[in-house]
Amino acid sequence: MNGKPARTGTVRLGTQSWPATAIGAAEFRRTQAKREAWLSDVAEVWLKWCKGDEPGMAIQTSGTTGDPKSVQHSRSAVLASVHDTLRHWHLNPGTRAVLALPTSFVAGQAMVVRAIEGAWDLNLVAPSSRPGWTGCADFVALTPHQAQGWLEHGTGSARTLLLGGGPVSAPLLESLLTSDRVDEVWESYGLSEALTHVATRKLASTLDLAAPFHPLPSVTIGTDESGCAVIDAPSRELHQLVTRDCIEELPQGGFLWLGRADEVINSGGVLVHPREVERALESFMPAWVSDWAAFGRPDEILGQAVVLRLAGTPPDDADPVALLDGWRESLKSLLGPAKTPRTLEWGDLPRTERGKLNRRLLQ
């Protein structure tokens, strides 16, 4: 031993700060936890990790594609995930990061542990659809829904912005890349059972939305007989984790994410991935369309009919019905008649507290 103490990170809330240690966590909980529920959640995650408790992480899945369930991970598995992140983006001690994700879910808890283990300078921001912070952060993780709210209503900038928890749209990416508020945009593929991201891709232009995800060096991703992703990550204690994500493995390496198997629409025997329809719309969709989603609706003839719902405020001189009719014809030229939505409609889209689309509530 050389006697040199390990560097300690810092956790900040407004103008206050605490060392990212057990003592700091205890003081933070004593002074801040009763103010708001999200601060209490941060305190519990922080203190639990510093105390060395097992399991290292216990979380609830979001429930957007099935019933929520409890998932537990050992400390060694959590550490493996943390070190994957630190190495992948070269996040050294002193990294200025922002936590704007709720710590009731895996991504938010992981940010807290990364800050402790990586000796970061972590700025706490209330989880919301319109996050904001002061100055330029080195590393920020947001959902796409949060990123849209941040661009339109939030403050601050980021050297590296990691998007996860939902697909990234072309309009959002274009807005981010032309905003002068982000140096690099990355998209992650991951899930609670795998301890956040297991594959990533850098988004330098909207063309990269068609580029493959590449697994992290410690991870191998293949497919089962139904085309769903199977994850091997021994350092995270994951062996043959079968997902419900449909992917296409590419000969040159990496994979394309096609969508969730339980979201596939069987329309008269034709299998339609909702994201395929949504991506086609993005190719000509005007900027004033604020939200959209494809889903299947029960149909006596087809079994399921493809429906595309949109939200937005059309210009005063526009005919909303005529717009939908014209867009349906445009989609037909891109998707073919069998995959083209039978119905395009205006309406609200249900989302979770993290901004993830809840397709199970679409009808």
Domains and CATH numbers, the chain: 10-214 (3.40.50.12780), 264-361 (3.30.300.30)
Q: Which two tokens stand for residue 210?
A: 């068609």
Contact present, 187 and 201 (Cβ < 8 Å)? yes
**Residue among 207, 141, 148, 150 nearest 172 (CA):** 148
DSSP letter for each residue of 303-343: EEEEEEEEEE---TT--HHHHHHHHHHHHHHHH-TTTS-SE
CA–CA distance, 25 with 53 (Å, rounded to integer): 14
Q: Report how far apart, in Å, the C-alpha atoms of 18 and of each of 8, 34, 113, 144, 317 are.
A: 10, 17, 15, 30, 55
Which backbone phi and psi does 309 adopt, to 5 degrees? Answer: -105, 140
228 near 243, Cβ under 8 Å?
Answer: yes
Assign 361 a pLDDT band (cuts: 50, 70, 90).
confident
Q: Tell me, what's the pLDDT at 81?
A: 98
pLDDT in tens, 147-205: 999 999 999 999 999 999 888 988 899 999 999 999 999 999 999 999 999 999 999 99
Q: What is residue 30's predicted lDDT score, i.e. its pLDDT?
A: 97
List, for residues 245-275, the tens digit of each pLDDT value: 999 999 999 999 998 898 999 999 999 999 9
Task: Identify the pLDDT of residue 357.
Answer: 84
Q: What is the CA angle 65-70-74, rounded to 5? A: 125
pLDDT in tens, 25-74: 999 999 999 999 999 999 999 999 999 999 999 987 765 445 677 889 99
CA atoms of 286 and 349, how far apart (whole Å): 18
Mean pLDDT, to the nearest integer, of 227-253?
95
CB-count burial class (<10 Å; 0-12, 13-18, 19+) for 147: buried
Alpha helices in 106-246 (DSSP H): 106-118, 144-153, 170-177
Nearest to 312 by CA among 154, 171, 131: 171
Element (H or E) spanning 161, and its range?
strand 157-163
Task: Judge if the upstream peptide bond of residue 251 is cis by omega within 30 degrees of 0.
Answer: no
Question: What's the whole-model pTM score?
Answer: 0.85
For residue 50, the SS3 value is: helix
What average pLDDT does the segment 196-220 reach? 96
pLDDT of residue 262: 87
Contact between 119 and 93 (Cβ < 8 Å): yes
